[in-house]
């Protein structure tokens, strides 16, 4: 493990403003977010705050908030986000070493909308492959060393088979000493054995089992009977 807990503090009275008003951020202020497995998935609806949370985790660790590693800044003059500026970590011994030394810090923030641009800046040339294949090639060649790897919906460009390959890469990265925190809508990725799953919503944050996830239930029901859902959205 590299980080064991993330937390933040804010002055009394400010917690009614965004992002402190977001339920998952309020939960972060109250209790922090604990990491007890090498891979943690954050799952929630659009607008639940999971992307806000993973961006702040990346930023707090010193990773480029627009996607990339600690030694590159997508926008060097861009100020830290309010949450990224306040977030702090309880770290494991390896994590404390990384946080205390810029040269020892390893990791990457992968966000779907800037991923290939970030990878190209850091020496990977994806021009000859598809968007999805570029994602996978990055995992095969760059996501190898122990470090903190924060991901925001990496499944966005991937087919079912490619998601399975990505899952294998995430598992191998964790076995090689990496730690992964991943925001996702994918029931396939969240099925990784041994991973922690944190469901984010109006309740804040809570640990759940894979079979308890609302997204798993919805996909199971939809694949069993698409018309039971489609009748609500199609004329």
* Percent of the chain surpassing pLDDT 90: 61
How does pLDDT run across 109-129, given as a tens digit for each residue? 888 766 667 667 666 665 555
The whole-number average pLDDT for the span 124-146 is: 71
**Residue 235 is assigned to a structural domain of this protein:** no
- Poorest-pLDDT segment among 45-59, 76-90, 108-122: 108-122
Q: Is residue 90 part of a domain?
A: yes
User: What distance in Å separates the CA atoms of residue 35 and residue 230, rounded to the nearest whole number?
Assistant: 38
Residue the block writes with tokens 């070493």:
97
Structural domain contains residue 132 = yes
Average pLDDT value over all residues in the chain: 87
Q: For residues 5 and 99, is the Cβ–Cβ distance under 8 A?
A: no
Q: Which two tokens stand for residue 123?
A: 């020496």
The reported pTM is: 0.91
* Sheet with 148-152, edge to edge strand ranges: 107-111, 148-152, 179-184, 39-43, 196-201, 204-207
Give the least confident one: 48-52, 137-141, 212-216.
137-141
Task: Choose the weakest-confidence range: 108-122, 189-203, 217-231.
Answer: 108-122
For residue 176, being part of any structural domain is answered with yes
pLDDT of residue 75: 46
93 occurs within a structural domain: yes
181 falls within a domain: yes
Identify whether 178 is part of a domain.
yes
Structural tokens at position 171:
């598992």
Four-point Cα dihedral 182, 93, 105, 63, nearest 10: 30
Domain of 154? Answer: 3-230
Strands (E), the chain: 3-7, 33-34, 39-43, 88-91, 107-111, 148-152, 179-184, 196-201, 204-207
Specify the CATH number for the domain of residue 175: 3.40.50
Q: Is the pLDDT of residue 136 over 60?
A: yes
The count of domains in the chain is: 1
Radius of gyration of the chain (CA): 18
**Residue 42 in 3-state DSSP?**
strand
Per-residue pLDDT, 131: 63
Count of residues for the chain?
235
Confidence tier at 103 by pLDDT (50, 70, 90): confident
């Amino acid at each position: 493990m590299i980080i064991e807990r993330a937390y933040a503090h804010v002055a009394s009275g400010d917690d009614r403003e965004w992002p402190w008003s977001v339920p998952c951020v309020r939960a972060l202020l109250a209790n922090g977010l604990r990491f007890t497995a090498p891979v943690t998935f954050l799952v929630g609806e659009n607008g639940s705050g999971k992307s806000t949370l993973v961006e702040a985790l990346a930023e707090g660790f010193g990773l480029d908030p627009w996607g990339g590693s600690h030694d590159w800044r997508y926008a060097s003059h861009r100020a830290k986000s309010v949450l990224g500026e306040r977030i702090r970590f309880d770290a494991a011994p390896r994590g404390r070493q990384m946080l205390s030394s810029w040269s020892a810090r390893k990791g990457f923030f992968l966000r779907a909308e800037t991923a290939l641009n970030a990878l190209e800046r850091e020496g990977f040339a994806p021009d000859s492959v598809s968007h999805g294949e570029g994602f996978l090639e990055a995992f095969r060649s760059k996501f190898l060393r122990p470090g903190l790897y924060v991901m925001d919906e990496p499944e966005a460009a991937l087919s079912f088979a490619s998601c399975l390959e990505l899952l294998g890469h995430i598992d191998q990265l964790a076995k090689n000493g990496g730690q992964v925190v991943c925001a996702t809508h994918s029931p396939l990725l969240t099925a990784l054995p041994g991973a922690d799953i944190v469901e984010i919503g109006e309740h804040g944050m809570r640990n759940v089992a894979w079979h308890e996830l609302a997204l798993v239930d919805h996909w199971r029901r939809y694949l069993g009977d698409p018309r039971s859902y489609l009748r609500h959205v199609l004329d």
